[in-house]
Each structure stands twice: as C-alpha cells, then as structure tokens.
C-alpha cells in the first residue's frame, strides 16, 4: 500500500471509513476490505460503531501490527474530566490498547483550540495513541494546532471531493508538513453519476469513483473510501495501477463550485477558508 509521509511518519494513502454504517454492514464488509488490501480503517466516537469495527477486525485474525486504526474524539468530550476517559472507552470498544491515529473531530465553538490540543497531547503521552491530528479545521486553526502541540500534528481530515475547492487549506497543510486526509470523496453519491468522471474513468478502464479517488491520491492526499457492499471493496482499492494525466486532473479540479461544500454542522464548523 502506498503511504503519505507527514513529519517523518507514514500513513497508508488509502483508508476505509465506516461513517453511517450499521454493525451488520461492518461485519459483512470488513473481511472483504481486508482481502482487497485495506489496512487503514477510520472510525469515530460519534459513528456509534467502534465496537462493531473492533470485533470485525479481531475476528478476521489479521495481526494488530498490520492495521492502521484511526478514531476521533467528539466535541462534547473536550473537557479535562471527560477527554481521556472517552478515549479509553473508544479503545475498549475497538479492542486495542492504543490507536494509531487520534483526531479532534470538529473544532466547535466552545473550547479553544489550544486547550483541545493540550488534551490530545496528554492522551498521547499516556500511550493511548501513537499519532495525533485534527479534523475539519481551517488553515488558521491548523496553524494554531501545530504551534501549540508538543507532538507533531500529522493530518487534518477534511471534506475533499471534485466539487469543493480546497486550494486555501491544502497549501497551508503542505507548508506545515501536515497531511490532508480527504473524506466524503463520493460527494454523497454525486461522483459515481458524474458524466465527466465517468468519461475520464473509462479512458483507463476505471469507474467514476475510482477516477475521483485517484484524483485525491495524486494530489498527495490520503483518501478515505467507503462502501457497505463487499463486492465494491476491491474496486475502491484498485486505484494504484493507473495515473491520471495532467489534463484529466485539471478537468476534475474544474468541477469545483462555490456551493460545493456538503458537510458544515452548526456550532461545530469553523469559518471556512475562502
């Protein structure tokens, strides 16, 4: 599996996300994902399925040291009396002693970023995670996180798909040596149906979804894919045997539009970069 480097650490370039997946779907698809070559799995406290993911991974018998496991702390746990305990609960559900990567899920509007990062560093120092990062931060918050963090901030997990221009935050991340992890790559189902992406994918014998995931990877980002269909897991993993041309990359970038952002919950989201 190709990796993305950040602050001297390596993260698998393609991950398998379990957002909005039921326990039953996870139990069915995780074995297929592992068979397809996935080793990077992304969950979160708020998904309410950490326990299902932990059980499914354990039952496959794949060694823990082969798995790169990410989870995220929800904003209502950003308090000294809650944070560490909530992480411990996540690890118990995931059936691991520590996470490979622990993220702050959303910046929110109640707890200063510096305080959030301090709590993240404390659980890392306690051995509950190997790496730390953030999610859904704008460029200013990301800079603040890096400034106040004792340990490297290795990623900012943000919404990335062809309809959203992220040309403000991506260069800032590169400057800080913070990897971008892209979620919502299928744009809530719009990508597989997009005529341009279908046309570009067909040139390489690939689907529109594969073309979009490849577009994310070729920007040097980490791409999170998702499917509840075991048969689709192999398709999502098969994006390392072709390279989009510069013209195709530019054409996909050209799909971005002013109203392209899909995920922006009130009281959790920052003021997004223009």
Catalytic residues: 47
Query: Both tokens of residue 148?
Result: 């106040």
d(CA 39, CA 31): 11
Across 36-57, b (16+ Cβ under 10 Å) vs e yields bbbbbbbbbbbbebbbbbbbbb
Give the chain's length.
Answer: 274
Instruction: Answer whether 159's CB lies under 8 Å from 182's CB.
Output: yes
- All residues at 6 or more sequence positions from 249 whose CB lies less than 8 Å from its CB, including other chains: 215, 218
- All residues at 6 or more sequence positions from 120 whose CB lies less than 8 Å from its CB, including other chains: 73, 102, 104, 132, 149
Give me the numbers of helices (H) and strands (E) for the chain, helices first please: 10, 10
The Cα-based distances of 238 to 178, 243, 254 in angstroms read 26, 12, 24
* Residue 224: DSSP 8-state: E
């Amino acid at each position: 599996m190709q990796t993305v480097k950040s602050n001297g650490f390596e993260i698998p370039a393609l991950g398998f996300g379990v957002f909005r997946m039921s326990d039953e779907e996870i139990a069915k698809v995780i074995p297929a994902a592992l068979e397809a070559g996935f080793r990077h799995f992304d969950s979160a406290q708020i998904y309410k399925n950490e326990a299902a993911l932990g059980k499914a991974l354990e039952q496959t018998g794949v060694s823990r040291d082969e798995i790169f496991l990410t989870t995220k702390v929800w904003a209502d746990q950003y308090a000294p009396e809650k944070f560490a305990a909530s992480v411990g609960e996540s690890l118990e559900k995931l059936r691991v002693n520590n996470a490979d990567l622990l993220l702050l899920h959303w910046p929110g509007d109640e707890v200063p970023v510096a305080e959030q990062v301090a709590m993240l560093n404390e659980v890392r120092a306690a051995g509950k995670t190997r790496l730390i990062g953030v999610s859904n931060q704008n460029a200013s918050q990301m800079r603040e996180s890096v400034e106040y963090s004792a340990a490297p901030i290795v990623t900012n997990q943000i919404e990335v798909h062809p309809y959203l221009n992220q040309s403000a935050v991506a260069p800032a991340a590169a400057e800080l040596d913070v990897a971008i992890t892209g979620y919502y790559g299928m744009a809530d189902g719009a990508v597989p149906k997009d005529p341009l992406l279908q046309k570009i994918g067909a040139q390489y014998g690939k689907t529109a979804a594969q073309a979009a995931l490849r577009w994310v990877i070729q920007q040097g980002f980490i791409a999170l894919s998702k499917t509840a269909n075991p048969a689709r897991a192999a398709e999502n993993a098969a994006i390392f045997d072709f390279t989009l041309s510069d013209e195709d990359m530019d054409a996909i970038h050209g799909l971005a539009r002013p109203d392209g952002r899909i995920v922006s919950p009130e009281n959790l989201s920052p003021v997004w970069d223009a």
